[in-house]
């Protein structure tokens, strides 16, 4: 029987082989290397019906716990937004600046002296934004990565996330979890012609420019700092979430040194560990699919994608992107 190399049809529970493009055994969820149709052909029997499956109800419960544990988030008085023009769906692509003022009226920069913020901000200038240009990672930059991971792992939010993933048999120890975070987020891969020019962290938080357009760039702190410098110009927003406190969610249009972002969704006012933790949760639990969460009683979905062209460890995948799905 012929089976397609990138499909699980007829391959459920097939033993792992490194020659396979993707995998269909129960371990593939843990290693994030399942074929895209694994859930169609190999469920609900097997992994998802076992005790360590991550169910939709689990995701709603743990996301509320992480939301409540975001003690480092901005208070309502810490951030004042000026959203101005709300673009309709047929206006988001026209690259017209309909908001004369900046998005941020005020940010209390004392926030940035908190350890997770300070260690996060140090990472933002470590990248060449153009894809196709090799990243030169210095010893100091590696120390900054380790320091960021050390600081976020001190927070109750990340401890709760680890405890959840440990209980679900995804990791055997905190050390294993931290080592995997470093690879999945900071491990380099090529979006260009073989140059090690990208990583999940660079794409999602710092932002990249590819083929003349802004790619990734989903972080409010990065946006604020660049808007303050005058290199980011806010154009409009197409979605403003229902929250009356932080973290809030915006879908926005902007240019970065003349490069345009048609819809860049972002959490506003959350701590770095909140975004980092939620995106990690969704990448581990629902890679390549919408990950449905609950934050303060409101529904929200995150989309993640794995980088499919290279792997690390035992066939594990890097993060290609992660972002809030704005309606």
Q: Which of 207, 206, 189 is nearest to 198 (CA)?
A: 189
The mean-pLDDT minimum among 132-141, 207-216, 257-266 falls in: 132-141
Q: Which residues are catalytic?
A: 203, 218, 261
327 — pLDDT class (breaks 50, 70, 90): low
The CATH number of whichever domain residue 2 belongs to comes to 4.10.410.20
The per-residue pLDDT for 15 is 77
Same domain, 75 and 8: no
Query: What is residue 46's predicted lDDT score, i.e. its pLDDT?
Result: 40
Residue 249: which of 238, 260, 239 has the closest Cα? 239
Contact 290, 276 (CB under 8 A): no
Looking at the chain, the whole-number percentage of residues with pLDDT higher than 90 is 67
Whether the per-residue pLDDT at 132 is higher than 50: the answer is yes
Whether residues 98 and 207 share a domain: the answer is yes
Q: Do 108 and 194 belong to one domain?
A: yes
Strands (E), the chain: 79-81, 104-107, 208-210, 213-215, 232-240, 248-256, 259-268, 290-295, 298-312, 316-324
* 151 shares its domain with 233: yes
The predicted-structure confidence for 60-76, as pLDDT tens digits, reads as follows: 999 999 999 999 999 99
Residues 13 and 27: beta-carbon distance below 8 Å:
no
Answer yes or no: do 26 and 169 share one domain: no
**Domains in the chain, number:** 2
Burial 45-72 (b: 16+ CB within 10 A, else e): ebbbeeeebbeeeebeebbeebbebbeb
Vertex 217 angle, CA 281 and 160, to 5°: 20
Contact 265, 283 (CB under 8 A): no
User: Mean per-residue pLDDT for 34-53?
Assistant: 66
Residues 62 and 159 in one domain: yes
For 207: left if phi > 0, alpha if psi spans -120 to 50, otherwise beta; the answer is left
Return the pLDDT at 1.
Answer: 37
208 close to 219: Cβ distance less than 8 angstroms: no
List the domain range (segments joined by +) for residue 178: 56-325
The least confident of 127-141, 170-184, 271-285 is 127-141
On whether both 41 and 129 belong to a single domain, the answer is no
In this structure, what is the dihedral angle of CA atoms 209, 215, 218, 222, given to the nearest 10 degrees? Answer: 0
* Mean per-residue pLDDT, 115-142: 84
Contact criterion met (CB below 8 Å) for 186 and 198: no
Residues 253 and 119 in one domain: yes
What was the pLDDT predicted at 296?
Answer: 96
pTM for the predicted model, two decimal places: 0.86
Summarize pLDDT for 292-310 with one digit per residue, the tens: 999 999 999 999 999 988 8
Number of helices (H), then strands (E), in the chain: 10, 10
Same domain, 121 and 153: yes
């Amino acid at each position: 029987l012929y089976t397609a190399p990138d499909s699980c049809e007829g391959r459920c529970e097939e033993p792992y082989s490194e020659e396979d493009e993707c995998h269909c055994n129960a371990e593939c969820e843990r290693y994030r290397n399942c074929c895209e149709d694994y859930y169609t052909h190999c469920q609900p029997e097997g992994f998802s019906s076992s005790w360590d499956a991550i169910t939709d109800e689990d995701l709603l419960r743990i996301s509320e716990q992480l939301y409540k544990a975001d003690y480092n988030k901005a208070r309502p008085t810490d951030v004042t937004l000026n959203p101005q023009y709300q673009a309709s769906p047929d206006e988001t692509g026209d690259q017209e600046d309909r908001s004369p003022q900046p998005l941020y009226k005020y940010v209390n920069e004392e926030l940035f002296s908190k350890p997770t913020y300070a260690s996060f901000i140090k990472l933002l200038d470590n990248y060449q934004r153009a894809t196709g240009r090799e990243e030169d990672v210095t010893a100091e930059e590696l120390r900054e990565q380790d320091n960021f991971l050390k600081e976020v792992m001190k927070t109750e939010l990340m401890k709760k996330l680890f405890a959840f993933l440990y209980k679900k048999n995804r990791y055997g120890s905190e050390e294993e979890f931290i080592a995997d975070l470093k690879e999945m987020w900071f491990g380099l891969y090529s979006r260009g012609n073989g140059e090690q020019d990208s990583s999940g962290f660079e794409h999602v938080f710092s932002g990249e420019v590819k083929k003349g357009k802004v790619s990734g760039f989903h972080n409010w702190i990065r946006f604020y700092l660049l808007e303050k410098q005058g290199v980011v110009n806010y154009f409009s927003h197409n979605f403003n979430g229902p929250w009356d406190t932080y973290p809030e969610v915006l879908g926005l249009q902007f240019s970065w040194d003349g490069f345009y972002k048609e819809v860049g969704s972002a959490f506003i006012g959350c701590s770095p560990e909140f975004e980092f933790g939620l995106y990690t949760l969704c990448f581990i639990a629902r890679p390549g699919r919408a990950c449905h969460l609950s934050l303060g009683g409101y529904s929200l979905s995150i989309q993640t994608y794995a980088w499919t062209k290279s792997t690390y460890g035992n066939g594990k995948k890097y993060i290609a992107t992660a972002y809030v799905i704005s309606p």
